[in-house]
A and B are shown apart, each in its own frame.
Chain A
Amino acid sequence: MIRIDGVTKRYPDGTVAVDRLSLEIPDRAITVLVGPSGCGKTTTLRMINRMVEPTEGSILLDGRDIRQQPVNTLRRSMGYVIQNAGLFQHRTILDNIATVPRLLGWTKQKARARAAELMERVGLDTALAKRYPYQLSGGQQQRVGVARALAADPPVLLMDEPFSAVDPVVRKGLQDELLRIQDELGKTIVFVTHDIDEAIKLGTKVAVLRTGGRLAQFAPPAELLSAPADSFVEDFLGADRGIRRLSFFPSRELELQTEPIVAIDAGADRLASRATAPYLLVTDLDGRPLGWSEPDRLTAGAVEPDRLLDFGRPFVPGTDSLRTALDGAVLSPTGWAVAVDGEGRAVGVVSQQVIGEAIRAAHGRVAEQADVGAGR
């Protein structure tokens, strides 16, 4: 565990970058440091590998002060990923990734074999091994940066705004990839970002820092959204934190209805038996949704798919959150959301009202847990 203990960084000109910061960074989890520019998040990260030395306080790694070992030994035991990747432009991709193993004295052969293995792990085509950084896209370079940080299998990974300089689509891909790699490797990751959405998506715990380097709140993302410590955190989270919080409520327990689902080839008597529902969801012969219709507008054997009402975006119960379910319901003019299985076949429908009840129930459970947690 990394323990930041009462750390202050004051520069000779009197600027305080970090102010009496204490944090316990849990093992094998992603801890995100987030805040506006000038909040000292990068300074804090750089104090962990001693690229910046604190003015006061200490940092402990597994109970030992990090100043007790030689600085380069410490750094080689911590992977570091930086914005724009910071690759060595004069070395091939393979040799970039092999940097730390080579510093640790591995043979060239062994280091390169390990590098090739890591290229696959981070989703890079090994055909790129002999290329130089300028021949790669920004997203690919960032993947190389992650692979290079992981090369010597360090227990700790420090990431300084690693995905800020790539476009949103690539960024989402890199974030998903990081979560997947973290599932497999279980590193202790400290991740700096100014993007609160990224913090909430990636963080097991999120530390919100305010300008002047003071800690505003240190909590799991769901707690941050439900109970921001003060107006600074609340403002920083943005206007739609209520909606975003729904991301943490599972859709698993939504009660789905199957009666309003009819296949496109349904006969007249089957349509008649469902006529009490306000809307019917028409599916194709494989069960994939085509659109909604009022029951009296459907004629057996003559359903025109392009005259059906939009069904929004379907959600996968259990995998997607209540946020996705609600989004689907709001998107459709009928106010109903469509649940599908992994293959996209409709497995049920649910109304906005039912989703609303589920949200209220979820709030209730969170409140109960908070009471239990607080020992009340």
Chain B
Amino acid sequence: MNGFFDLPSDLQHSYLGLVGLHLREALLPVLAGLLVSLPIAQLCVRFRWIYPPVLGITTVLYAIPSLAFFVVLIDYFGQSETTVMIPLALYSLVVLVPAIVDGVRSVPPETLAAAQAMGLGPVRRYFQVQLPIAVPAIVAGLRVAAVSSISLVSVGMLIGNQGALGNMLWNAQTYHRPALAVNSVLTIAVLGILVDAALVVVRLLLTPWMPRKGAAR
């Protein structure tokens, strides 16, 4: 029983089980990051002066090594998935906040003026005009955040079996099975590419109104 996709039992998952776990640990933080970024970005658009400090804070958060987060978070959440996902969510902010801010700011001023003049209040303007028009920029941010999160999940192995596919790297060493490491790296790369492609499809579905390259007018 030493096939390419046969995993040592201490990983506690089948290959596909690890893939599912990996996606959950990578993408839930990005989703959480998106939910946090939306109001933060809106504040940055509304009050221009808070944008530079917010950018500074997200950059500093991104610069903190995940190990440092783990040391603190283990006290509260133990050696759990949550401990791995919280830093990942914080890391995603450095990409998502500027992406949303740029997207919302890309709405042409005359479009906003027209919306206001037609009697759309601030809430309607945000949900019916600014947010839909920001979708391409937001999805572009999500693509970077998702792919980087997929590769970062692996560090979870440092706190004991919380790195999903990354745990295979540890096993490769312990059991002298380099194939496990190759499998881990390849699978993570493929997941990254597939998730990225899926987000491109989502964007195409959400934005039928965007000029298509090469399409006839």
- Bitwise interface map of A from 249 to 283 toward B, beta carbon under 8 Å scored 1, else 0: 00000000000000000000000000000000000
**Dominant secondary structure at the B interface:** helix
Asked if A88 is at the interface of the complex by the 8 Å CB criterion, the answer is yes
Nearest chain A CB to B122's CB is how many angstroms away?
A: 10
Please count how many residues in chain B sit with their CB below 8 Å of the partner chain's CB atoms.
Answer: 24
B108, B124, B135, B209 pick with most chain A CB within 10 angstroms = B209
Asked if A329 is at the interface of the complex by the 8 Å CB criterion, the answer is no
Smallest CB gap from B112: residue in A = A86
Interface pair B113/A99, CB less than 8 Å apart: no
When the two chains form the complex, which single residue of B111, B117, B129, B210 contacts A80, counting CB atoms closer than 8 Å? B117
Asked if A82 is at the interface of the complex by the 8 Å CB criterion, the answer is yes
Complex Cα–Cα for A76 and B115 (A)? 10
Interface pair B117/A88, CB less than 8 Å apart: no
Using A73-B119, A100-B119, A134-B211 as known contacts, say yes or no to A90 and B114 having CB atoms under 8 A apart. Answer: no
Asked if B110 is at the interface of the complex by the 8 Å CB criterion, the answer is yes
Using A86-B108, A86-B111, A89-B111 as known contacts, say yes or no to A100 and B209 having CB atoms under 8 A apart. Answer: no
Asked if B53 is at the interface of the complex by the 8 Å CB criterion, the answer is no
When the two chains form the complex, which single residue of A72, A73, A88, A92 contacts B129, counting CB atoms closer than 8 Å? A88
Residues of A within 8 A of B119 (CB): 71-76, 100, 103
Interface pair B113/A86, CB less than 8 Å apart: yes
When the two chains form the complex, which single residue of B114, B120, B124, B211 contacts A86, counting CB atoms closer than 8 Å? B114
**Dominant secondary structure at the A interface:** mixed
Complex Cα–Cα for A145 and B118 (A)? 11
Interface pair A51/B133, CB less than 8 Å apart: no
Asked if B121 is at the interface of the complex by the 8 Å CB criterion, the answer is yes
Interface pair B113/A90, CB less than 8 Å apart: no
Nearest chain A CB to B83's CB is how many angstroms away?
A: 40
- Bitwise interface map of B from 111 to 152 toward A, beta carbon under 8 Å scored 1, else 0: 111111111110010000100110100000000000000000
Top 4 nearest A-B pairs (CB, nearest first) are A86-B114, A80-B117, A86-B110, A75-B119
Question: Can you identify 27 A-B contacts, CB atoms within 8 angstroms?
Answer: A71-B119, A72-B120, A74-B119, A75-B116, A75-B118, A76-B118, A76-B119, A80-B114, A80-B117, A80-B118, A82-B113, A82-B117, A83-B110, A85-B114, A86-B111, A86-B113, A87-B111, A87-B114, A89-B133, A90-B132, A90-B135, A90-B209, A99-B120, A103-B118, A132-B208, A133-B209, A135-B217
Besides A72-B119, A86-B115, 12 other A-B contacts (C-beta < 8 A): A71-B119, A73-B119, A76-B119, A80-B114, A82-B117, A83-B110, A86-B112, A88-B114, A88-B115, A90-B207, A132-B209, A134-B210
